[in-house]
Amino acid sequence: MSTVVGIDLGTTNSLVAYMENGKPRVIPGTEGNLLVPSVVYFDVEKGAVVGDKALEELLRHPERTVYSVKRLMGKAPDDVIEDKKVLPFQFVDSKQIIRISIGSRDFTPPELSAFILKDLKQRAEKFLGQAIEQAVITVPAYFDDAQRQATKDAGKLAGLDVLRILNEPTAACLAYGLDKTKEALVAVYDLGGGTFDISILKLKDGIFEVLATNGDTHLGGDDFDHRLVDFAWKRIEFRLGALDRGKLFPRLRRAAIEAKHHLTENNSAWIAVSLPEYKFSEEIPISRAEFDRLIDDLVQKTLACCRQALADARLAPEQIDVVVMAGGATRVPCVRQAVKDLFGRELHTEINPDEVVALGAAIQAEILSGGITDMLLLDVTPLSLGIETFGGVMSRLISRNSTIPASATETFTTAVDNQTSIDVHVLQGERELAADNRSLARFQLRNIPPLQAGLPRIEVKFLIDANGILNVSAREQRTGKEASIEVKPSYGLTDEQIEQMLLESIEHADEDFRKRLLIEARVEADGILAATEKSIKSSAYKKLSAKEKGSIEEAMAELRKVSSSDDHKLIRDKIDLLNEVTHHLAEMMMDQAVRAALKDKRIEEV
């Protein structure tokens, strides 16, 4: 049986773990080190260098070293404007895709992460003496579909078949064996190098449901380092004033990290600043109490996130049964104390917090490889699920890779006046158009009261239970009329078919998007033409000037002419034009409606 490894692909550090005689274990590097800094350096001759060696190069060759790539995964350039300000990389100018230029080459975030994954893969292969081809990779619970997909792509590029993308807090729970608890509310407090995540999970019969997540994407152990650097700088500034703090920063930071780690075990430490070229050397003493004060506001900030997550899950801190600590920065004693005080209970800290996620990933890997059979499989939906809406477009209710059980509700309405029934067409797949996806089921909701189009409120609910069975129901809210159907979503779909559907959706992404825009424009054109025709018969229309009437008719004719063309931009232009020339008419009709309403009211009041 080939080994499936578990990988924690972290913002600061990454780890790879496997199951050894029924127990998870982090695989060490040749020097015994367990953590691989998530840093990639591009050596002119050797190519990509990952981990501790790359971290060293960060001081010497910052222009050829990248870190914190996880922040960019699955993002569009517009999403990372803030990150770009602090990450000193050479971003390639593009609206569509993030690329970082290093030397003469450009890399996407998944490509950069793939270098780290490749390194972890090789580490495992060397240690285990066998080829490693399959892995479980963890991601934060709040990662969206694009971010999960980017992580999976990175795995593929590294030559790994990613069997599962697993939520980091779920992995931490698995490492503590919490899946064996019948029912519990769990809080996972994860403070890493640069990010803080709090996740509130509901655990029931081996299934983890994410009730709420919160956090701060720019808060972590790095900020503690910065506070220590500030502290040290204040003490030595008067002697180094002429020197550039920015230039000295990497070395100051290194000294600060050492002191921080020392303070975890001891009541006092020294920040050892040594700058031989300036014949400067100083050991600045700092007590743990002083350090606690320096970072107190940061710790308080994490607590505020915890309170918000609890509020979102509608829970009080006392209702949480188990608190799990993850991330290297949760080693700091005052952080532990603060979290303990907030929840009013003991914390799970027995497992090394920087290893706990990777260890859980290894357990999940073993479950998937069939090595553990007495555990329930935590599952995710392999493809998105949704329904067909106007114009044959797929409207997604549950995205692929959502952990199950999952549920989603969306409200739809009718397309034509006096429509008394709707067809609910349940679809599975990633394509924009209904016809390109797999049809899972169809059913009808009848006896909707005959109303003007757009007025009925039809709530469609998707519910996937723990066994992967999908139940779809539709309900008209005014009348309470209801219809539902049970579907087995993954039944009959092999892994190859899923793979094929995903490949097609990537290949056709551009084309699909254009088709969707076209259909939406056509539907809107039909709608606005119908509405305008109706208003031409109104008394308000008669009050318009001949010139206004003329331009409305002309705009309608122009829209009619292009409404079945293949150019969505052209249709949109004509819709805008018609909207513009009917603006005055719409205002007058609105006035009339308001006046009529007031009149009615007066009669009623009399």
Residues recognised as catalytic: 8, 70, 168, 190
In 3-state terms the chain splits into helix, strand, coil percentages (rounded to 5) of 45, 25, 30
Q: Which helix (H) or strand (E) holds 502?
A: helix 495-507
Q: How far is the CB of 137 from Mg ion (least distance, A)?
A: 12
* Residue 262: strand pairing partners: none
Judged by beta carbon, residue 194 or residue 456, the one nearer ligand ADP is 194
Q: Which does 382 bind (CB under 5 to 8 A by kind): ligand ADP, Mg ion, none?
A: none
The answer to whether the CB of 110 falls within 8 A of the CB of 152 is: no
Strands 280-287 and 406-412: unpaired
332 binds, among ligand ADP, Mg ion, none (CB under 5 to 8 A by kind): ligand ADP
Strand partners, 17: 6, 26
CB of 34 to ligand ADP, least distance (A): 10
Query: Would you say 37 or 391 has its CB closer to ligand ADP?
Result: 37
- Taking the least distance from each CB to Mg ion, the nearer of 261 and 560 is 261
Nearer to ligand ADP, 289 or 316 (CB): 289
- Which residue sits closest to ligand ADP, CB atoms considered? 221
> Is the bond preceding residue 456 a cis peptide, omega within 30 degrees?
no
**CB-based contact 306:319 (threshold 8 Å):** no
Instruction: Return the one option of ligand ADP, Mg ion, none that residue 51 interacts with (CB less than 5 to 8 A, by type).
Output: none
CB of 174 to ligand ADP, least distance (A): 17
CB of 57 to Mg ion, least distance (A): 23
Nearest alpha carbon to residue 472 among 442, 493, 513 = 442
Nearer to ligand ADP, 328 or 391 (CB): 328
Least Cβ distance, residue 459 to ligand ADP (angstroms): 40
Report the C-alpha gap between 86 and 79 in whole angstroms. Answer: 14
Indicate the residue type of 14: S
Least CB distance to Mg ion at residue 587 (A): 56
Tell me the DSSP string of 335-346. HHHHHHHHHTS-
Of residues 358 and 363, the one with the C-beta less far from ligand ADP: 358
* Least spacing, CB of residue 354 vs ligand ADP, in Å: 4
Which residues sit at the interface with Mg ion, rule CB under 5 A? Answer: 10, 192
87 binds, among Mg ion, ligand ADP, none (CB under 5 to 8 A by kind): none
Please state whether 461 falls in left (phi above 0), alpha (psi between -120 and 50) or beta.
beta
Select from ligand ADP, Mg ion, none the partner in contact with residue 437, using the beta carbon and a kind-dependent cut-off of 5 to 8 Å: none
One-character DSSP codes across 510-573? HHHHHHHHHHHHHHHHHHHHHHHHHHHTSHHHHTS-HHHHHHHHHHHHHHHHHTTSS-HHHHHH
Number of H helices, E strands in the chain: 16, 25
Residue 354 touches which of ligand ADP, Mg ion, none (CB < 5 to 8 A by kind)? Answer: ligand ADP
Which residues fall within 8 angstroms of residue 124, CB to CB, at 6 or more apart? 3, 5, 16, 18, 27, 132
Residues near ligand ADP (CB under 6 A) are 10-13, 192-195, 220-222, 257, 260-261, 264, 327-329, 331-332, 354
Closest contact distance (angstroms) between CB of 242 and Mg ion is 40
Residue 8: both structure tokens together: 């924690």
CB closer to ligand ADP out of 193 and 391: 193
- Please give the DSSP secondary-structure letter assigned to residue 449: -
Give buried/exposed letters for 474-510 (b at 16+ CB in 10 A, else e): bbbeeeebebebebebbeebeeeebeebbeebeebee
Give Cβ neighbours of residue 574 (< 8 Å, ≥ 6 apart).
525, 555, 558, 559, 562, 563
| Residue 336 dihedral angles phi and psi, to the nearest 5° | -60, -45
